[in-house]
Amino acid sequence: MKQEDKTLIQDICARFNRDRTRMMDVLIEAQRALGYLSSDVIDAIAEALAIARVEVESAASFYAFFSQKPRGKFVIRLCNDIIDKLKGVDRVASALREQLGIDFGQTTDDDLFSLEWTSCIGMCDQAPAALINDKIVTRLSSDSIREIVRSLKEHGDFSKLKLALGSGNNSHPLVRSVVDNNLLQRGAVIFAPSEPSQALGKALAMSPTEVIRSIKTSRLRGRGGAGFPTGMKWEFARNATGDARYVLCNADEGEPGTFKDRVILTEAADLMFEGMTIAGYAIGSEQGILYLRGEYAYLRAFLEDVLAQRRSKGLLGDNVGGKAGFNFDIRIQLGAGAYICGEETALISSCEGLRGDPKTRPPFPAQKGYLDMPSIVNNVETFCCVTRILDKGAGWFAAIGTTGSAGTKLFSVSGDCERPGVYELAFGVTLAELLKIVGAEDAIAVQVGGASGRMVNPSEYGKKLCFDELATGGSIMVFGPGRDVIKVARAFMEFFCEESCGYCTPCRVGNRLLKQGLERFIRGMAEPSDIEYLEQLGKTVKTMSRCGLGQTSANPVLSTLQSFRSEYERRVVKNTSGLQPSFDIVKALRDSETIVKRKSVHVGH
């Protein structure tokens, strides 16, 4: 390794105070500077941080966006979620393969391009989409991607591409992205006009326990999907013992089909940061962390600027808002492409510079979270609600929505509908009403709550969207006439196979078996007992897995078995031979025949 590279690594580590808990930042910066994380780079980081090599390598090998092999100057990551597939991502992929002469997972000989697949990047309303390094390109077609690649080959500069900038702050000088907000309906809470900093002022005039009481009175529940009462979580953290407390904002919006946090981050970042600051005051914290998914790195400079402005206005830093003794600041922790880090304990692991492995609960983060200190992890949208509650009052908020689900909810709608985008609607709106608003009244199936949610059939469209009936963290994927729900379920299982951290067996192995089971139905090789098999296996994965990923990953199978059982039943074929139709002896012998250069004397020839 060159001495100058070594010095560079040492400088990066020094910038983060040689703090091993800042491993994510060190790895991100090292990769940015040197292209990839070679074995030498990993050794140099280990030496500079004075830790074992394996600690560096275990983190470096975990995240999809870190590479231990050399890659092209431009890494094109094409999004392969189900909505992108419906919108023709395969044609884009073929165009890329053809033009670059490489397959996915490979790099061109001139080291200019690498091709990779990636899970949902939060652009389902403008699919197909891809990441080119940390920039986004959307609404791709085979023609547009050819033109992008041609231009990059010509001048090698992404900023020279002639791309129309997106709406709102997407054309801000610090963002300059093609992404569109598609914010198609503003509601009373998140996207209503509001006076900045009013809420923080009101909160600082109250005592911390009064702030928490106000949040409890508002009946605010977490917007990430699980719906845990926010005030209660804060109270646990406030009452737990610890030398420090932390406020973590979960902007690792990875649930397929969810992109509402992206719009908040772009258009209402102050509202979110204000909510985090109020939370800091309420639980007695001095440090907040915004965990920003790696896919949204294009927003980072803009968000850093928002934070800098808040600091200069005295809304972050020492004596926040003029309140003597209340010191609070926020840093941004960038992720690196791991869905599991949206799970709160995995998110904490990642912030601590570890692999994004979930931790065993209890203890819950409110007792023992980031750096083993009491911590709250809340969704981006939840913090925005907090700000509005403090501004307009708990009673005002509680009066919106339903009894069990107060307030409004942002819905990210994508798929077979006329107007995909973000809609802010009061909780309690029925699915049928939403489908009418988005122009999808002919939907044959709707996936509510992303891959880990459930598939709903038309007989249930009258149900309300709220925590007690159809719960969702925001994702609504619409499937129109002619779509095959079992193929959709298989796409979700492919996603979970890819994103399982591999720690526990039910999830690591069970999800693969579920996917194979679905394939038998798709290939017409399933028999009646396979329905029961999938049901049993699904329940095992659901009940035996360690964290929320595995506990929900069987839902695509279990919920389609429930809501679309006839789709399964019509495909089964009774098999009396006792042989497995999926076993293909000709294929199983092909390698052997090539190696020993003779045909099987028994089979198939």
Partner 1 sequence: MSTKPKVATTSLAGCFGCHMSLLDIDDRILKLIELVDFNKSPINDIKKFTDRCLVGIIEGGCSNEENVHVLQDFRKHCDVIIALGDCATMGGLPAMRNHVPLKECLEEAYLKGPTVYNPGGKVPGDAELPLILDKVYPCQEVVKVDLFLPGCPPPADTIWQALVALLNNKPLELPYELIKYD
Work out how close the CB of 531 gets to partner 1 at its nearest, in angstroms, rounded to a whole number.
15
CA distance 271 to 387: 6
Count of residues that bind partner 1 according to CB under 8 A? 22
Length of the chain: 605
Work out how close the CB of 281 gets to partner 1 at its nearest, in angstroms, rounded to a whole number.
49
Work out how close the CB of 599 gets to partner 1 at its nearest, in angstroms, rounded to a whole number.
9
**Binding pattern to partner 1, positions 521-560, x when CB under 8 A?**
----------------------------------------
- Told to check if 593 binds partner 1 by CB under 8 A, we report yes
Nearer to partner 1, 141 or 575 (CB): 575
Nearer to partner 1, 443 or 504 (CB): 504
Residues 6+ apart with CB under 8 A from 363: none
Among 162, 570, 574, 598, binds partner 1 (CB under 8 A): 598
47-55, 97-105, 123-131, 594-602 -> range binding partner 1 (CB under 8 A): 594-602
- Told to check if 309 binds partner 1 by CB under 8 A, we report no
Q: What is the DSSP string of 450-508?
A: STTSEEE-GGGTTSBBSTTSB--SSEEEEE-TT--HHHHHHHHHHHHHHH--SSSHHHH
CA distance 323 to 318: 9
Work out how close the CB of 594 gets to partner 1 at its nearest, in angstroms, rounded to a whole number.
8
Q: At what angle do helices 269-283 and 208-218 cross, to 10 degrees?
A: 120
Edge-to-edge strand ranges of the sheet holding 74-79: 113-118, 74-79, 130-132, 135-137
Nearer to partner 1, 193 or 578 (CB): 578
- Told to check if 591 binds partner 1 by CB under 8 A, we report yes
Nearer to partner 1, 192 or 585 (CB): 585
Nearer to partner 1, 10 or 106 (CB): 106
73-81, 247-255, 483-491, 585-593 -> range binding partner 1 (CB under 8 A): 585-593
Work out how close the CB of 543 gets to partner 1 at its nearest, in angstroms, rounded to a whole number.
19
76-84, 252-260, 492-500, 593-601 -> range binding partner 1 (CB under 8 A): 593-601
CA distance 598 to 582: 25
CA distance 164 to 180: 10
Decide: helix, strand or coil at residue 406.
strand
E strand residue ranges, 119-206? 130-132, 135-137, 183-185
Nearer to partner 1, 35 or 581 (CB): 581
Work out how close the CB of 595 gets to partner 1 at its nearest, in angstroms, rounded to a whole number.
6
Among 162, 570, 574, 602, binds partner 1 (CB under 8 A): 602
CA distance 344 to 25: 19
Can you read off the two tokens belonging to residue 338?
A: 């791991």
Work out how close the CB of 596 gets to partner 1 at its nearest, in angstroms, rounded to a whole number.
3
Report in angstroms the alpha-carbon separations of 443 from 455, 456, 486, 565: 12, 10, 16, 18
Decide: helix, strand or coil at residue 94.
helix
Report in angstroms the alpha-carbon separations of 298 from 138, 304, 393: 14, 11, 35
DSSP state of 377: E
- Told to check if 50 binds partner 1 by CB under 8 A, we report no
Site residues for partner 1, 555-584, by CB under 8 A, read 575, 578-580, 582-583
- Told to check if 312 binds partner 1 by CB under 8 A, we report no
- Told to check if 605 binds partner 1 by CB under 8 A, we report no
Nearer to partner 1, 14 or 603 (CB): 603
Among 50, 195, 596, 605, binds partner 1 (CB under 8 A): 596
Work out how close the CB of 509 gets to partner 1 at its nearest, in angstroms, rounded to a whole number.
10
Work out how close the CB of 70 gets to partner 1 at its nearest, in angstroms, rounded to a whole number.
23
Nearer to partner 1, 570 or 597 (CB): 597
Nearer to partner 1, 195 or 591 (CB): 591
* Residue 499 near residue 339, CB atoms below 8 Å: yes
- Told to check if 108 binds partner 1 by CB under 8 A, we report no
Nearer to partner 1, 109 or 591 (CB): 591
Residues 6+ apart with CB under 8 A from 210: none
Q: How far is CA 349 from the centre of its chain?
A: 16
Nearer to partner 1, 162 or 605 (CB): 605
Between the two ends of the chain, the Cα-to-Cα distance in Å is 55
Cross-strand bridge partners of residue 535: none
CA distance 324 to 315: 12
Which residues of the chain form contacts with partner 1 (CB under 8 A)?
Answer: 575, 578-580, 582-583, 585, 587-593, 595-598, 600-603
